[in-house]
Amino acid sequence: MRILLTGKTGQVGHELERSLRGLGEIIALDRSQMDLSDLDQVRDVVRTVKPALIINPAAYTAVDKAESEPELAMRINGEAPGVMAEEAGKIGAAMIHYSTDYVFDGSKDRPYLETDPTCPVNVYGSTKLAGEQAIQAAGIPHLIFRTSWVYGMYGKNFLLTMMRLAQERDELRIVADQHGSPTWSGTIADSTAAVVAKSIQAPDAIDWLRQHSGIYHLTCQGQTTWHGFTQAIVAATMTGKTPVLTPIATQDYPLPAKRPAYSVMSGEKFIRNFSDLPSWENALASCLQKKTGSDNL
Ligand SMILES: NC(=O)C1=CN([C@@H]2O[C@H](COP(=O)(O)OP(=O)(O)OC[C@H]3O[C@@H](n4cnc5c(N)ncnc54)[C@H](OP(=O)(O)O)[C@@H]3O)[C@@H](O)[C@H]2O)C=CC1
Ligand SMILES: Cc1cn([C@H]2C[C@H](O)[C@@H](COP(=O)(O)OP(=O)(O)O[C@H]3O[C@@H](C)C(=O)[C@@H](O)[C@H]3O)O2)c(=O)[nH]c1=O
Ligand SMILES: [Mg+2]
């Protein structure tokens, strides 16, 4: 199966390139080869590569910057996935796409289900929701994996930021009233590869993907806060003198974009249909131990 992989320099794209090895002919592209802000180029690349499956982890992920660049964020997160899906439809291809917990407003206090109403509270979330809707509207075989709080040893993320700040400072002030599920990029990539492998084992991979089409919540299981996540990071990575970790309220860490106060998502549908998901604690340990996502959930 020929697979077109976007965003190979991103956290998830980087791990996917590794996890997908052996599952087909992987055409992995970066921004210079497929710029999602150039919709004509997106169209041309799909037409030239003619994949059976598009896997799209590329996205505009700068949550605060998106507030001042809504049009660019919408083109990359909302429109480009729609163009990919439209072109996929013309060649009988399927699509695996990634979305976010930030499609929810955070007013629930129990894990969000795939059937719960969406209501983004920031520009990034609105543009990611538009991407989901554009893919659904194209009517192609598709899997949309909503994930959250992604980290790993590669790329820009909260784990690496906090490991650095914990070395530099005596005190860290961290938001303790936002609840979510930190998710290792390796878990996302390996879980995606497991799904692709299942599709390939079926008599007709595209038909299998059509039968399983829909939205799935793909996160590590359990929940914490950014403060709780930092406590786990510091405990696992530092010995000797550690900084004081002071819990603070969201309002005491002002940022341009609003965030949902609660964005835990139930992984039950994903687990029932595809494969098990690790707890966030176990995934963090695996990440720190292995430093790759190649063969560990
Ligand atoms: N990070 C997170 O916490 C979360 C992410 N998600 C979703 O998961 C998916 C993967 O995210 P993640 O890997 O963490 O994201 P990263 O920010 O690590 O990577 C984003 C990727 O998209 C690429 N990209 C950005 N703009 C363009 C563009 N105009 N054209 C082509 N490529 C572009 C980047 O390229 P370059 O390296 O050149 O910038 C990079 O390869 C995304 O859909 C994201 O919305 C969902 C929930 C949480
Ligand atoms: C560095 C730092 C951050 N924080 C807070 C700010 C913020 O609320 C929280 C996390 O910071 P981030 O910048 O990683 O948060 P954010 O960019 O909102 O992360 C989000 O990214 C997008 C792409 C998603 O899809 C989401 O699932 C989520 O992972 O931690 C502190 O409280 N203290 C600190 O010292
Ligand atoms: Mg961020």
Backbone angles phi, psi at 229, to 5 degrees: -65, -40
Q: Which atom of ligand 1 is nearest to the CA of 59?
A: 22
Work out the average pLDDT over 27-41: 98
Structure tokens at 269: 């549908």
Work out the average pLDDT over 11-37: 98
Tell me which of 3.20.20.70, 3.40.50.720, 3.40.190.10, 3.90.76.10 is the CATH number of domain 2-157+182-222+263-278.
3.40.50.720
Query: What is the Å distance from ligand 2's center to 175 Cα?
Result: 9
Work out the average pLDDT over 184-213: 98
Sort strands 224-225 and 179-180 into parallel, antiparallel or unpaired.
antiparallel
Calculate what percentage of the chain has a pLDDT beyond 90: 96
Predicted pLDDT at 296: 41
Predicted pLDDT at 292: 42
Predicted pLDDT at 297: 40
The residues annotated with a catalytic role in the active site are 124
User: What's the chain's average pLDDT?
Assistant: 96
Q: Does ligand 1 have an atom closer than 6 angstroms to the CB of 31?
A: yes
Q: Does ligand 1 have an atom closer than 6 angstroms to the CB of 149?
A: yes
Residue carrying the six token digits 């494969």: 275
Structure tokens at 227: 């403060």
Supply the pTM of this predicted model. 0.97
Assess whether pLDDT exceeds 90 at residue 291: no
Backbone angles phi, psi at 22, to 5 degrees: 90, -5
Q: E strand or H helix at 231, and its extent?
A: helix 226-237
Ligand nearest to the CA of residue 259, numbered in listed order: 2
Q: Does ligand 2 have an atom closer than 6 angstroms to the CB of 121?
A: no
Nearest C-alpha neighbor of 77 from the set 101, 58, 96 = 58
Render pLDDT for 70-129 as a digit per residue (tens, 0 to 9): 999 999 999 999 999 999 999 999 999 999 999 999 999 999 999 999 999 999 999 999
